[in-house]
Amino acid sequence: MNPRTDPAEDVLLQHPWRPVTIDGCQLLVKSWFGETAYRILLTDMQCVWEERMDAVAIESRAQGLNRRLRASVRAFFSHLCEVAQPCLTGGGRTGDEAQISVRRWEDGNITLRLKSELAGLPFYWEFHCSPAPVALVCVQLVRPLLAMSRLLQRQVEHLEDLLVRKDEEIQDYRENGATLSRERLQTDIFDKQPYAEDFIEKTLPLLWSEPSDALGFNADLQQLHATIVAYRSARKRKWPEETGAEQNQLSPEPSAQTLTPDGDDPTRDEGNQNSSKQVEPSRARRPAAHTKQPAPITTCPVERPTSKPKKKKVGLFK
């Protein structure tokens, strides 16, 4: 899956993760509602689920769930937005009008069920969410979280440098005979290494023992996430040619999907060329996931002789 091929993808990327409690379940939710289409992405930090629906799919489900209701897909969708969006953005429920519940299925999917009223009749909707593709989880969570850690780590380093400079200033005053009028204002000399060790030792237990809001993704971190994602998206729009440079760094482009599989390992001999066709026990036990019409391994191009196989493959991951 290449998330970048979906125009809704970037829209969703720039949406914040909103902490929402639905039916007693703490979740982080991203949602996007278009004209007669939507996408939602949910996580409880144990799993990430998504659903993408277009007008046809919405109409079909709407009819199945609301047999007595006669409304155009537009009218239906408009009401759905009205009642679902407050639930999915943490904006609170719309009072008694909308009720929402969560059901988790054995196959790993979850369903959010919504009940409201439309034109005096019961109005039902269900969001059927499946585990999201790993690539999407990388785009929406892993890479932004890593960028956040990198940024915060740099900030820690920068603040530590500032503290060292403050100490140099204080030291100079003292050496010139200055004294404090209030003893309690005196600070200890900042020593980076012992400080960091002590800080981590004292803070780690608190991370798990203190109550945390939003599954630990608190408001400051949400803000930082939004800032980082917005910056990166803006930068890509402004300098799309930079993409190549970025690919070597934080978040390489998923360019591989546009490539046919290569391989061409010159170290392989004739006797092993058919090895990729063998039944692979571990794969048989756990089916490969997130594969849309996967190309059977046997349909991959036969290996071509080449003297520089490595150069050919650099583009796959960079």
SS3 210: coil
Stretch that binds a copy of itself, among 5-13, 45-53, 73-81, 84-92 (CB under 8 A): 45-53
CB of 181 to a copy of itself, least distance (A): 6
Task: Give the number of other CB atoms < 10 A from CB of residue 21.
Answer: 11
Q: Are strands 48-53 and 99-104 parallel, antiparallel or unpaired?
A: unpaired
CA distance 254 to 16: 22
* Nearer to a copy of itself among residue 70 and residue 165 (C-beta): 165
Contact between 44 and 215 (Cβ < 8 Å):
yes
Task: Give the number of other CB atoms < 10 A from CB of residue 65.
Answer: 17
Residue 256 found at the interface with a copy of itself (CB under 8 A): yes
* Nearer to a copy of itself among residue 35 and residue 173 (C-beta): 173
CA distance 229 to 318: 20
Judged by CB under 8 A, the residue of 7, 95, 106, 305 near a copy of itself is 106
User: Site size for a copy of itself, by CB under 8 A?
Assistant: 165
Judged by CB under 8 A, the residue of 78, 109, 233, 306 near a copy of itself is 109
Residue 302 found at the interface with a copy of itself (CB under 8 A): no
Residue list 163-202, contact with a copy of itself (CB under 8 A):
163, 165-170, 172-182, 185-187, 190, 196, 199-200
* Nearer to a copy of itself among residue 72 and residue 257 (C-beta): 257
Instruction: Kindly tell me the burial class for residue 44, based on how many C-beta atoms sit within 10 Å of its own C-beta (0-12, 13-18, 19 or more).
Output: middle
CB of 91 to a copy of itself, least distance (A): 20
